[in-house]
Amino acid sequence: MIRRIAVVIAFVALVAQAFGQETSTTTTKRKGHPDIPGNFTLELGVNRASGAPDNFSLGLWGSRTVNIYYQYDIRILKSGFSFIPGIGLSMERFKFKNEYTLAYNADSVFMVSPATAGYSNLKKSMLITNYVEVPLELCFRTNPEDPARSFRISIGGRVGYMFDSFAKIKYKEDGEVKKLKDKQDFGLNKFRYGVFGKIGVGNFSVFGYANMTDLFKDGLSQNRQPVDFSTFTVGISLSSF
């Protein structure tokens, strides 16, 4: 699946390159901006849960996001505004601080303690979700002729589809460290959408992203009652020009 998505991203980049070559004779080359169609953006962030049950407790550094997008900057007339569509991957990790792990049956999704799950010496418990995403961004630059040295601020939204999810458990048994991958969807929402904002200078920005959809389709069970909650991410963004 990841290989197929990479092919799609490469195809989009080639199409954008052809378009850029066709229009290069009628556009002015930006100062400090190499003649590259579009750019690649790398985002690194930490994930938090808003309104989650107490046993869905996340560690700070282990709960992280890595986003990789190909984006194409479309300047709006001669203004400082640009519309920036893109496509890419969002890879999220949720590390449970209390070492609880997810369990899933026909009725609900719930958290269970290491002892209940049968792991007497649990070292790490994580939920991993991977998405293919389409970010759409409206950006304002104070100096659009020289974006590498321009202050920028942007808002936008993302739409994503979860193509992979699994729980990852690391535990010790009989003196041996073992790893277990439980690959299923755990009642997670396959589709999601959210909003984000960025502020920065040149190719460096800080960003915040908030999911507008719940992480689980029918909530996470606590005391036999489903609890709906969403997640958000804050981090840094690095773009090539």
* Number of domains making up the chain: 1
Residue recorded with tokens 């990789």 = 68
Query: What type of residue sits at position 187?
Result: G
Alpha helices, H only, the chain: 2-23, 114-117
Using the CB atoms, write b or e for 88-99: b if 16+ within 10 Å: bbbebbbbbebb
Is the per-residue pLDDT at 178 higher than 90?
Answer: no
- pTM assigned to the model: 0.82
- Specify the pLDDT at position 13: 47
Is the per-residue pLDDT at 218 higher than 50?
Answer: yes
Span 16-75, pLDDT tens digits: 444 344 433 334 444 554 555 789 999 999 999 999 998 899 988 889 999 999 999 999
21 assigned to some structural domain: no
Average pLDDT over residues 165-173: 89
- Specify the pLDDT at position 17: 46
Average pLDDT over residues 193-206: 97
- Specify the pLDDT at position 220: 93
- As beta bridge partners, residue 6 has none
- Specify the pLDDT at position 122: 83
15 assigned to some structural domain: no
Span 79-108, pLDDT tens digits: 999 999 999 999 999 999 888 889 888 778
Contact 46, 121 (CB under 8 A): no
35 assigned to some structural domain: no
147 assigned to some structural domain: yes
Q: Which residue range(s) make up the domain with 114?
A: 41-239
Is the per-residue pLDDT at 6 higher than 60?
Answer: no
The 8-class DSSP code of residue 148 comes to G
17 assigned to some structural domain: no
Listed residue (153, 161, 230, 162) closest to 196, CA to CA: 153
Q: How far is Cα 142 from Cα 81, in angstroms, rounded to an integer?
A: 9
149 assigned to some structural domain: yes
Average pLDDT value over all residues in the chain = 85
- Specify the pLDDT at position 11: 44
14 assigned to some structural domain: no
Is the per-residue pLDDT at 181 higher than 50?
Answer: yes
Proportion of the chain above pLDDT 70, given as a percent: 85
- Specify the pLDDT at position 241: 60
- Give the tokens for residue 76: 């709006």
Phi then psi for 30, rounded to 5 degrees?
Answer: -75, 140
Is the per-residue pLDDT at 162 higher than 90?
Answer: yes
11 assigned to some structural domain: no
- Specify the pLDDT at position 38: 86
- Specify the pLDDT at position 103: 87
Average pLDDT over residues 174-190: 89
